[in-house]
């Protein structure tokens, strides 16, 4: 890079510069005139920037090394011209200081440009090398921050925390665990149901968690593996006499899809004009587990919110603790006309073989990952909860395994502590991203 020397440099290098003041002044004037004509191939002087650009912005605006050199030449030339004007007034004082200012200006130009143009002097190249290293460190730090953020999201370490010791102690009888939500939707045109007769359909949302995980703080992340179950009977079975079919309406669904499913909907009809399907109403939230006793499977749950259940929950069959014997229907087996789907679940061959031509098989969690799976819930009484979470013989002989009921109690306590710290009035709104203005809150009594 060609750098214009100031009048101080010209005066210092001349052997007769110290003889007379007039001679020095004349040389300074001629030097300044010479500097007014820039050397060939020199870039245009850079305009005074209105705003200081960052390294990234400068790099983005430079196409190649020549452009970088032009930027630095412009800044250096502007600084040099300024030094030349000052030298006419003070030809002999501050020469070393102004030489350092020119050098600093060149280094600053190198730092601002953030590249390494061709033809730079050794000192200037070193400056560019330093800038390049700084840019590399900035990019590396940004990349590391993004990776840490992605890892945080993947591990969901705020609301769900992996625990290797917990995983090793999980009882063999627990096939799946997670958070459960209960909803109901009123009939078309009924904004405030006054009883079970005003309910059109009830729903269960299962949000599975890793077996070795424990609940931490904050709302659950949208892992995209939730299940939406529909209850045509509107109520849950409460005794062994009650045997109700449940359908997997959505499998491996997201929070967004659930939100859309539960939103209110307006549509036009030929007879009544515009009709409104009300938004679904939350009933309760808690924790659940799918357990196996070897011969049969159970769906068990414990309610966390609300703390006191009312007539709404009681009428819908939601208890503080509940359990059901669960069996899955073979989609290839015939069934009653009123309990057969036109488009039954389609399982891969590996799963279909497990039915062994039987009409029913015990529930396995993977069966819930297929849309239109038909699930039979057989009610159990309050005293049957312990039977649904009984310990397997092989676990009873091990000191490392916890009892199923102990794991349920731990999970319920963690969920209770989690929802206490949520800012939303109901944890369902925080976990599923529902708007309290659009969706009715959990209620204990029917509207009167």
Q: Mean pLDDT, to the nearest integer, of 356-382?
A: 92
Question: Residues near 337 by Cβ (< 8 Å), separated by ≥ 6?
Answer: none
202 and 78 inside one domain: no
Q: Are 310 and 441 within 8 A, CB to CB? A: no
Task: Tell me the pLDDT band of 346, cut-offs 50, 70 and 90.
Answer: very high
The whole-number pLDDT of residue 9 equals 47
Note whether residue 228 is domain-resident: yes
Q: Structurally, how many domains does the chain consist of?
A: 2
Note whether residue 87 is domain-resident: yes
Q: Mean pLDDT, to the nearest integer, of 399-414?
A: 87
Position with higher pLDDT, 122 vs 44: 122
The Cα 401–Cα 209 span in angstroms is: 19
The Cα 332–Cα 53 span in angstroms is: 68
The Cα 367–Cα 222 span in angstroms is: 21
* Closest C-alpha among 148, 108, 5, 131 to residue 56: 131
Burial of 205 (0-12, 13-18, 19+ CB in 10 A): buried
Task: Tell me the pLDDT band of 41, cut-offs 50, 70 and 90.
Answer: very low
The whole-number pLDDT of residue 382 equals 67
The whole-number pLDDT of residue 224 equals 92
Is the pTM higher than 0.85? The answer reads no
Say which range, 66-75, 114-123, 220-229, 232-241, has the weakest mean pLDDT.
66-75
226 and 136 inside one domain: no
User: Which DSSP category does 382 fall into?
Assistant: G
Average pLDDT, the chain: 74
291-336 per-position pLDDT tens digit:
998 889 999 999 999 888 999 999 999 999 999 999 999 999 887 7
173 and 137 inside one domain: no
Would the pLDDT of 40 be above 60?
no
The whole-number pLDDT of residue 367 equals 97
Task: Tell me the pLDDT band of 275, cut-offs 50, 70 and 90.
Answer: confident
- Going by their DSSP bridges, the two strands 243-253 and 226-231 should be labelled as antiparallel
Look-up of token digits 């005074």: 48
133 and 67 inside one domain: yes
Would the pLDDT of 72 be above 50?
no
Highest mean pLDDT among 7-21, 65-79, 265-279, 340-354: 340-354
Task: Tell me the pLDDT band of 437, cut-offs 50, 70 and 90.
Answer: low
Note whether residue 448 is domain-resident: no
Q: Which two tokens stand for residue 353?
A: 């073989």
The whole-number pLDDT of residue 424 equals 58
Note whether residue 150 is domain-resident: no
92 and 192 inside one domain: no
317 and 173 inside one domain: yes
74-116 per-position pLDDT tens digit:
544 544 455 444 444 444 444 455 555 545 555 555 444 444 4
Note whether residue 159 is domain-resident: no
Helix extents (H) in 114-241: 122-155, 164-169
How far lies 7's CA from each of 33, 79, 94, 348, in Å?
10, 13, 12, 87
Note whether residue 317 is domain-resident: yes
Q: Are 335 and 350 within 8 A, CB to CB? A: no
Task: Tell me the pLDDT band of 219, cut-offs 50, 70 and 90.
Answer: confident
Residue numbers of the domain that contains 41: 7-143
């Amino acid at each position: 890079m060609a750098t214009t020397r100031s009048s101080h440099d010209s005066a210092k290098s001349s052997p007769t510069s110290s003889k007379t003041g007039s001679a020095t002044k004349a040389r300074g004037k001629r030097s300044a005139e010479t500097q007014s004509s820039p050397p060939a191939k020199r870039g245009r002087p850079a305009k005074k920037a209105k705003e200081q650009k960052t390294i990234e912005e400068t790099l983005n605006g430079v196409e190649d090394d020549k452009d970088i050199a032009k930027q630095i030449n412009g800044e250096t030339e502007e600084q040099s011209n300024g030094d030349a004007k000052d030298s006419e007034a003070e030809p002999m004082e501050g020469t070393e200081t102004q030489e350092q200012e020119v050098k600093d200006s060149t280094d600053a130009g190198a730092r601002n440009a953030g590249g390494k143009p061709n033809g730079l002097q050794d000192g200037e190249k070193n400056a560019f090398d330093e800038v390049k290293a700084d840019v590399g460190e900035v990019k590396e730090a940004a990349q590391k921050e993004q990776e840490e953020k992605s890892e945080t999201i993947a591990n969901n370490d705020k609301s769900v925390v992996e625990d290797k010791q917990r995983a090793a102690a999980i009882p063999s009888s627990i096939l799946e665990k997670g958070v459960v939500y209960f909803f109901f939707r009123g009939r078309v045109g009924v904004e405030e149901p006054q009883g079970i007769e005003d309910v059109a359909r009830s729903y269960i949302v299962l949000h599975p968690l890793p077996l070795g995980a424990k609940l931490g703080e904050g709302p659950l992340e949208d892992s995209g593996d939730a299940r939406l179950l529909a209850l045509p009977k509107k109520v849950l079975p409460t005794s062994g006499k009650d045997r109700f079919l449940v359908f997997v309406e959505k499998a491996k669904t997201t929070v967004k899809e659930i939100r859309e499913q539960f939103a209110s909907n307006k549509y036009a009809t030929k007879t009544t004009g515009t009709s409104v399907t009300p938004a679904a109403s939350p009933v309760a939230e808690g924790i659940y587990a799918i357990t196996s006793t070897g011969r049969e499977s159970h769906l068990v749950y414990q309610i966390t919110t609300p703390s006191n259940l009312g007539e709404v929950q009681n009428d819908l069959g939601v208890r503080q603790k509940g359990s059901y014997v669960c069996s899955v229907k073979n989609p290839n087996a015939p069934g009653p006309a009123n309990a057969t789907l036109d488009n039954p679940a389609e399982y891969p061959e590996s799963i279909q073989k497990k039915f062994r031509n039987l009409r029913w098989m015990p529930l396995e969690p993977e069966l819930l990952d297929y849309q239109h799976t038909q699930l039979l819930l057989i009610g159990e009484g309050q005293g049957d909860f312990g039977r649904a979470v009984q310990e397997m013989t092989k676990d009873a002989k091990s000191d490392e395994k916890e009892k199923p009921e102990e794991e349920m109690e731990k999970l319920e306590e963690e969920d209770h502590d989690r929802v206490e710290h949520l800012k939303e009035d109901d944890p369902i709104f925080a976990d599923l991203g529902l708007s309290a203005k659009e969706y009715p809150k959990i209620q204990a009594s029917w509207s009167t």
